[in-house]
Amino acid sequence: MSVPIVSLPLGHTVDGKVVTGYVLQNEGGMRVMISDFGGVIWQLLAPDRDGHLADVVCGYDSVAALEASEGYLGALIGRWGNRIANASFTLDGVRYDLYKNDGDNHLHGGKIGYDRRFWEVECVDGEEPSLILSLLSPDGEEGYPGNLKITVTYRLRSDMALEIRYVATTDRKTVINLTNHAYFNLGGYASGTVLDHVLELDVSHYLETDASLIPTEITPVDNTPFDFRTSKTLRRDFTPDERCRALQVAGGYDHCLCFGGWQEGSLEVKYRGYLEDPTSGRRMELYTNQPAVQLYSANFLTDDGNRLKGGLKKQTQSAVCLETQRMPDSMNHEGFTPCTLSPGEVYDYTTVYRFTTV
């Protein structure tokens, strides 16, 4: 029997608006809670090899802590996920200036990105319950052109997968790169470092960056710490020091990895790899029709007095993000992935995180 979606108040924002959480559950016992504020994944419970459930996403207990935080934990990101150099781009001869919130650069949508917006919600009960979030991002918001209509559908599938589908249309040519910024720790969010997690990804190239983490060039992964074509622990090549300049600059993994064989316009959602915690036996398979993934080892998740769930102190490398997306700063580089959306076109991308055990 399917379990109806349950809604519950999570608290108030600083301006007095009520934040609501929606709990989806499947017959396998997997459970996810998502809020209308920022589309945040507050909780994701998945079983280990013995059937014991644990919450495998880092986040906060309260709306106050969420609003006071940086790091975008669990939130929807847009209109542009990742960085844009010099907070500007030129489209059809017109320059657009964006908000600078990462030094001289623009990050994750700007001052008030989609992670800080209230989304309209539609609940769809059933064996595979869905939460459909809708948002209108007006022309000129954060400097971007075009009225962008967005729906993001979270579907909790019966095969123990969380599917996230992003669909958008515009009335004016614009740039777009939507993603979710979930911080995963498959041992449970409070279980410590993820450096012993095993990762395998079908990636052929990665993006080198400058000192401010702006991409500079596309580089083959061969003989680099970014080669995850054969499974390995995150720890094995984790050398954020003079042995690897790319990791040293970022303090760890914070790089765009590019999937092999991607084709523009294809809606085929392909298996691209997995993340696994050997201790609990939880494995999270990654499927997507996006061309790349930002691998981030929570290098900036440092103690700022704003505690995580259960009063947990923030620690670097206590989670890992797999943010499927277009190449960052694409609009400012020839040869990077296409990143524009025009009237009459539909932006339609899906990412699936499927949980199993080994």
Catalytic sites, residue numbers: 181, 323
- Amino acid occupying residue 202: D
CA–CA distance, 86 with 181 (Å, rounded to integer):
22
Structure tokens at 312: 């947990």
Strand-pair partners of 8: 21
Long-range CB contacts for residues 339-342, cutoff 8 Å, separation at least 24: 339/175, 339/176, 339/177, 340/91, 340/173, 340/174, 340/175, 340/176, 341/146, 341/148, 341/168, 341/169, 341/170, 341/173, 341/174, 341/175, 341/176, 342/170, 342/173
Q: Which residues pair with 125 in a beta bridge?
A: none
Element (H, E) at 162: strand 161-170
Among the listed residues 267, 75, 286, the one whose alpha carbon sits nearest the alpha carbon of residue 199: 286
**Residue 53 Rama label (left phi>0; alpha psi -120 to 50; beta):** beta
Angle at 286 between CA 284 and CA 290, to 5 degrees: 160
Interacting residues of 243 by C-beta distance below 8 A, sequence separation 6+: none
Report how far residue 143's alpha carbon sits from residue 89's, in angstroms, rounded to the nearest whole number: 10
Burial of 232 from C-beta contacts in 10 A (0-12 / 13-18 / 19+): middle
DSSP alpha helices (H): ranges in the chain? 63-67, 245-250
